[in-house]
Structure 1
Amino acid sequence: MACYLQSEGFDVVVINPRQARDFARAMGYLAKTDRIDARVLLQMSEVINQHPERKQYIRPLPDAHR
């Protein structure tokens, strides 16, 4: 999915689920629901966008590895 979105021109950042959970805890979100997860991912994207050097884009695999 991430590779497809990137090929369509979207900026894509793959976030490690553990890092997202740690970020949520640091922001004071102790419960875990879809609504909270969405809010946390939005806040993480805002932090990443403030620091473009932290963006990590997916590099497409060579055809031999698909």
Structure 2
Amino acid sequence: MLERDERRRARTVRAESAWFRSSYRTGSGGECVAVAAGPDAVHVRDPKDTARPARTIRSGSWAAFVRFAAL
């Protein structure tokens, strides 16, 4: 049941959210992500494959990841 709800939420995110591409890319430009921030979660997807559902990450987990990545 949870997986189905996550897929439904990802479709909604895809349609309604403002997506931002990362500013960091490799030289070939093939490895970047798109991110959309919601009130309770951050959604991450591959901008080259928008048909796949976005990954939903809780805001606290995303904040911890960003802190770690900034080290």
Please say whether Structure 1 and Structure 2 have the same fold, judged by a TM-score greater than 0.5: no
Larger Rg: 1
Where relative contact order (Cα < 8 A, 6+ residues apart) is larger, the structure is: 1
More helix by share: 1
Q: TM-score with structure 1 length normalisation? A: 0.25
